[in-house]
Amino acid sequence: ATPGRTGPVAGGGDCVRCFGSPRVLVEPDPAAGFAVMKMRNPPVNSLSLEFLTEMLISLEKLESDKAFHAIIITSDCPGIFSAGLDLKEMCGRDPTHYAEYWKAVQELWLRFYLSHLVVISAINGVSPAGGCLLALSSDYRVLADNPKYAIGLNETLLGIVAPFWFKDTLVNTVGHRVAERALQLGLLFPPAEALRVGMVDQVVPEDQVQSAARSVLAQWLAIPGHARQLTKTLMRKPTADRLLKERDADIQNFVRFISRDAIQKALRTYLEKLKQK
Amino acid sequence: ATPGRTGPVAGGGDCVRCFGSPRVLVEPDPAAGFAVMKMRNPPVNSLSLEFLTEMLISLEKLESDKAFHAIIITSDCPGIFSAGLDLKEMCGRDPTHYAEYWKAVQELWLRFYLSHLVVISAINGVSPAGGCLLALSSDYRVLADNPKYAIGLNETLLGIVAPFWFKDTLVNTVGHRVAERALQLGLLFPPAEALRVGMVDQVVPEDQVQSAARSVLAQWLAIPGHARQLTKTLMRKPTADRLLKERDADIQNFVRFISRDAIQKALRTYLEKLKQK
Amino acid sequence: ATPGRTGPVAGGGDCVRCFGSPRVLVEPDPAAGFAVMKMRNPPVNSLSLEFLTEMLISLEKLESDKAFHAIIITSDCPGIFSAGLDLKEMCGRDPTHYAEYWKAVQELWLRFYLSHLVVISAINGVSPAGGCLLALSSDYRVLADNPKYAIGLNETLLGIVAPFWFKDTLVNTVGHRVAERALQLGLLFPPAEALRVGMVDQVVPEDQVQSAARSVLAQWLAIPGHARQLTKTLMRKPTADRLLKERDADIQNFVRFISRDAIQKALRTYLEKLKQK
């Protein structure tokens, strides 16, 4: 039995019975059948290799424990859901590291997108690029109604291109035309627009994000689990299979692209600017 | 010449010149180029093997008679369009029967989805699961504005999974994201929501469903028939081909799934509950 | 250097420094990074073989000149964006001509749909059939708010069938269901409806079409060009590849179809009617 299942769970960050890891706080509520997974990789929940690995381990733990049928994923960093991929993992390292990193990014998507658990995103902050991908991998997205909390795959703004499986996930969510324009322009959608185009399913006042996610969850947990999981697979497996079929080629593409001098230089410049802020 | 073509046609159920079969009342209006196909398999138009067979025969008759370019499909059972597949055909029978039944269900979809006739659904009652599939196979859906007349593929609620071609038909109608959520949650959409997500094309007051369907039909019949048919094929054949390519495997999947002890038990329990109502 | 780059550019049709060809007036603004391509094949910008060829040459010129990152395509013929394919090219000619013509139509779509330039349509008139296809091949569509300026693939109304790649382009823009109904019925959408279903991105007062297109362009030009181009390819190449894979078969299909007596007769009748107007 996991520690989290041995007793009641507090609501806050100082929950003593919670399991998880330094960067991923898991607040289990096994009686209700779900756990809250709080991302705590300050300042902006960048998806570093270590952080990705901890998220995957936490997800696997919950998936292999029959008490859990769902997770709510949310952020413990004020104002940011996740800033997305960690540019530091892509800058000034060797090809082996880039390959290892990209494999972990793929794994995160594959595991969350296909998880047999219900995954609800309680999006309590901005979620660009990889942060948006994580949200899009959920079954349902609740976004806090704060004009600063924009969401989108804004890769082109940095001069890079979203991988095809980011694109596929977005197309599956908002359709081909909205995705085409959003990806070319690197659009970040504020809440009202995000709701209108279908990037999120619900926008609620900021202090109700967690409770709204819990309410929605009740509806999902009421569905016979086995049938729901098979249906999710039916919908998502063809998209996941596209990556699985060319996973290595996708890694090599990434390594080749990121190793270019022009890209390395652009990333260094960008990281310098971020430091100065 | 069919009997129905020899004289005027009454509007109601006591139409003496109508052809059809015990469970499928066909009211032809050859001068106008269409027939109304009324489903009359009380109490809920369950798609039994016999009923499916009669529907297919009626459709074929109309398709092979050049006087007809369109059909309106509607229900003669108050408050129900069709309750969908007949659980009695799937419970306590042998594998040969299950296979025969499933082949007829496939055939119904293939023939209606690809019919060269214009098919308009005048949905005058609730249409869950297979009833929804029938409606989705039409070219246009008019739904009566009654909050009880929900429509959707609610298979997961019964612990079963919509087959991939049900899913494909829904995705073609409402897009990937709406379909994904609707199928996982087994959502039944009341009229206003059904219209909003595109599950139906028009919602009208209950007493205007038939007349609205006839009005819409006029627009469809004004289009050069050959070009319209080829265009319909262009849009739908790739989806139908997916089933045609693995039709036998799909039958075997169904037989294997439905023969499971757990499923048989669940169906028996469900049928018992229905009887008690 | 092209003539257009040697000096300032006037806004109107009497621009002395503009390059282009008799039927395609190119007004370059290299300092701003774009050119306006004005279609001037009166009375209705029919896509004749000669006109198609001139459009392709103008596009290639702009694409090979690094000063240009975008074009705005618009009409110089009052009230008409483009009437679409030129029926005269399809009527009373020999198979070799039909084949040559169809290849040019394919080429127009392939080049505009995949152009590395940003392509904005400033739709200042009606755009049926091939005129609509041209607009759909852009990255963004601004439509003048005039109830006469309907847009759509209305091929079935003439008894012909939109080719699969017209269909694919429409599905990519408005989704499968809207495309299915629009193509079967040959729907022409007036501005408000065109906006609602996503056939165009913006509807503006008629005298603001050109300025609105310019405003939008600024947003597109602000995106790093290389990343934007790769993203466009990512979105569109699979659709273009479907035609590229069976380009010859598509030409043969067209030639076979258009050579039929019934089709030739229908086209002659239609052309006669047009003349009488």
User: Average pLDDT for residues A41-68, to the nearest whole number?
Assistant: 97
pLDDT, one tens digit per residue, over A139-162 is 999 999 999 999 999 999 988 899
Q: Is the pLDDT of residue C2 over 50?
A: no
pLDDT at position C216 over 90: yes
Domain count, chain B: 1
Question: What is the predicted pLDDT for the residue at A7?
Answer: 36
| Catalytic, out of B4, B84, B130, B131 | B130
d(CA B61, CA A116): 47
Q: Do C223 and A160 touch (CB under 8 A)?
A: no
pLDDT at C149 over 90: yes
d(CA C98, CA C96): 5
pLDDT at B2 over 80: no
Residue A231: partners with Cβ closer than 8 Å, 6 or more residues away:
B155, B156, B161, B162, B167, B183, B184
Residues of A with CB under 8 A from a CB of C: 155-162, 164, 167, 175-177, 179-181, 183-186
Chain B residues at the C interface, defined by Cβ less than 8 Å, are 139-140, 171-175, 198, 201, 219-220, 223-224, 226-228, 230-232, 234-236
The shortest CB-CB distance from C180 to any of B219, B226, B235 is to B235
Q: Does the structure show a pLDDT above 50 at B9? A: no
Residue C181 and residue C161 in contact, taking contact as beta carbons nearer than 8 Å: no
Q: Where are the beta strands (DSSP E) in chain A?
A: 19-20, 24-29, 34-39, 46-47, 70-75, 79-80, 84-85, 118-123, 125-128, 140-144, 151-152, 202-204
Answer whether residue A5 is part of any domain: no
Interface test with B, best of A231, A236, A241 (most B CBs within 10 A): A231
Nearest chain A Cα distance for residue B27, angstroms: 39
Place of tokens 């949200």: A135
Per-residue confidence (pLDDT) for residue B266, from 0 to 100: 83
Interface test with C, best of A153, A171, A176, A253 (most C CBs within 10 A): A176
* Confidence at residue C264, expressed as pLDDT on a 0 to 100 scale: 92
The confidence score (pLDDT) of residue A13 equals: 45
Mutate to test the interface with A, among C167, C234, C241, C242 (most CBs of A within 10 A): C234
CA distance C228 to chain A (A): 5
Scanning every residue of chain B, which has its alpha carbon at the shortest distance from the alpha carbon of A173? B177
Q: What is the pLDDT of residue C116?
A: 98
Interchain proximity A161–C235, CB inside 8 Å: no
Contact check, Cβ <8 Å, A157/C224 = yes
pLDDT: is A254 or C13 the higher one? Answer: A254
- Closest CB to A223 among B162, B179, B184: B184
C200: pLDDT confidence band, cut at 50, 70 and 90?
very high
Band the pLDDT of C23: cuts 50, 70, 90.
Answer: very high
A41 pLDDT above the threshold of 90: yes
| Burial bucket for residue C209 (CB in 10 Å: 0-12, 13-18, 19+) | buried
Q: Give a yes or no: residue B7 inside a domain.
A: no
Nearest to A13 by CA among A1, A24, A5: A24
Closest Cα in chain B, distance from residue C171 (Å): 9
The shortest CB-CB distance from A224 to any of B159, B167, B179 is to B159
Burial code (b: 16+ CB inside 10 Å, e: under 16) for B129-164 equals bbbbbbbbbbbbbbbbbbeebbbbbbbbbbbbbbbb
Domain that holds residue B114: 19-276
> Taking a C-beta distance cutoff of 8 angstroms, is the pair C26, C18 a contact?
yes
pLDDT value, residue C20: 74
Nearest CA in chain B to C170: B235
Q: Which residue from A68, A87, A62 is spatially nearest to A267, judged by alpha carbons?
A: A87
Instruction: Confirm whether C146 is a catalytic residue.
Output: no
Q: Which of A140, A174, A227 sits opposite B155 (nearest CB)?
A: A227
Mean pLDDT of the B54-76 span: 97
Whether residue C4 is contained in a domain is answered as no
B184/A235 touch (CB, cutoff 8 Å), yes or no: yes
Closest CA in chain B for residue C184: B228
The rounded mean pLDDT for chain A is: 93
Q: Where is average pLDDT lowest: A114-123, A145-154, A263-272, C229-238?
A: A263-272
Q: Classify residue A1: in a domain, yes or no.
A: no
Give residue C167's region: left, alpha or beta (phi > 0; psi -120 to 50). alpha
pLDDT at C130 over 90: yes
B215 located within any domain: yes
Q: What pTM was computed for the model?
A: 0.93
**Structure confidence by residue, pLDDT tens digits, B262-273:** 889 988 988 898
Tens of pLDDT, residues B212-254: 999 999 999 999 999 999 999 999 999 999 999 999 999 999 9
Q: Report the alpha-carbon distance of residue C188 to residue B221 in Å, rounded.
A: 17
pLDDT at B6 over 80: no
> In chain C, count of helices (H) and strands (E)?
10, 12
Q: In sequence order, which residues have a C-beta less than 8 Å from that of residue B63 and are 6 or more positions away? A: B115, B116, B117
Q: Is the pLDDT assigned to residue B4 strictly greater than 60?
A: no
For residue B85, the surrounding DSSP H or E stretch is strand B84-85
Contacts of B164 in chain A (CB under 8 A): 234
| Residue contacts between B and C (CB atoms, under 8 Å) | 60
Give the residue-averaged pLDDT of A66-72: 97
**Would you call B140 and C176 a contact, using CB atoms and an 8 Å cutoff?**
no
**Is B33 annotated in the active site?**
no
CA nearest C257 in B: which residue? B227
A partners (3+ CB pairs within 8 A) are B, C
Residue in chain B lying closest to A232 (CA): B184
Residue C215: is its pLDDT beyond 90? yes
Shortest alpha-carbon distance between residue C224 and chain A (Å):
5
| Segment A233-249 mean pLDDT | 98
Q: What is the pLDDT of residue A267?
A: 86
Answer yes or no: is pLDDT of C13 > 50.
no
- Is C85 designated active site? yes
Answer yes or no: are the C-beta atoms of C39 and C82 closer than 8 Å: yes
Of the pLDDT bands very low, low, confident and very high (cuts 50, 70, 90), residue C18 is low
Which residues on A lie below 8 Å from C117 (Cβ)?
Answer: none
Tell me which of B41, B45, B124, B154 is the catalytic residue: B154
Question: Given an 8 Å threshold on Cβ–Cβ distance, is A184 in contact with C228?
Answer: yes
Chain C residues near residue A179 by CB distance under 8 angstroms: 235
DSSP per-residue codes, A168-225: HHHHHHH-HHHHHHHHHHT--B-HHHHHHHTSSSEEE-GGGHHHHHHHHHHHHHTS-H
Q: For residue C14, is it within any domain? A: no
The sheet that has A34-39: what strands, in order across it? A19-20, A24-29, A34-39, A70-75, A118-123, A140-144, A202-204
Tell me the backbone φ, ψ of residue B167, rounded to 5 degrees: -60, -50
Cα A211 to Cα A215: distance, rounded to the nearest angstrom? 6
Identify the bridge partners of residue B204 per DSSP, sorted by sequence position: B144
User: CATH number, domain at A236?
Assistant: 3.90.226.10
Q: Give the C-alpha separation, B110 to B134, whole Å.
A: 10
**Least Cα separation, residue B150 to chain C (angstroms):** 20
Q: What whole-number distance in Å separates Cα of residue C110 and Cα of residue A264?
A: 34
CA distance A91 to A85: 12
Are C130 and C84 spatial neighbours (Cβ–Cβ below 8 Å)? yes
Predicted pLDDT of residue A18: 64
Euclidean distance between CA atoms C142 and C121, whole angstroms: 6
Q: Looking at the domain assignment, is residue B71 inside a domain?
A: yes
What was the pLDDT predicted at C276? Answer: 85
pLDDT at B277: 73
Q: Is A169 part of any domain?
A: yes
The confidence band for C36, taking pLDDT boundaries of 50, 70 and 90, is very high
- Percentage of chain B with pLDDT > 70? 93
Question: Pick the catalytic residue: B33, B108, B155, B217?
Answer: B155
Q: Rounded distance, CA C275 to CA C277, Å?
A: 5
Mean pLDDT, all residues of chain C: 93
Q: What is the pLDDT of residue A10?
A: 39
Of the candidates C172, C227, C234, the beta carbon closest to that of A177 is on C172
Angstrom distance (rounded) from CA C137 to CA C131: 10
Question: Which residue in A has a C-alpha nearest to residue C141's C-alpha?
Answer: A181
Distance from CA of B232 to the nearest CA of C (A): 6
Q: Is it the case that residue A1 has pLDDT exceeding 50? A: no
Find the helix or strand (DSSP H, E) in which B26 lies. Answer: strand B24-29
Residue A100 annotated in active site: no
pLDDT of residue B18: 64
Q: How many CB pairs under 8 A join A and C?
A: 59
Q: Which residues of C touch B175 (CB under 8 A)?
A: 175-177
Across-strand partners of C71? Answer: C35, C119
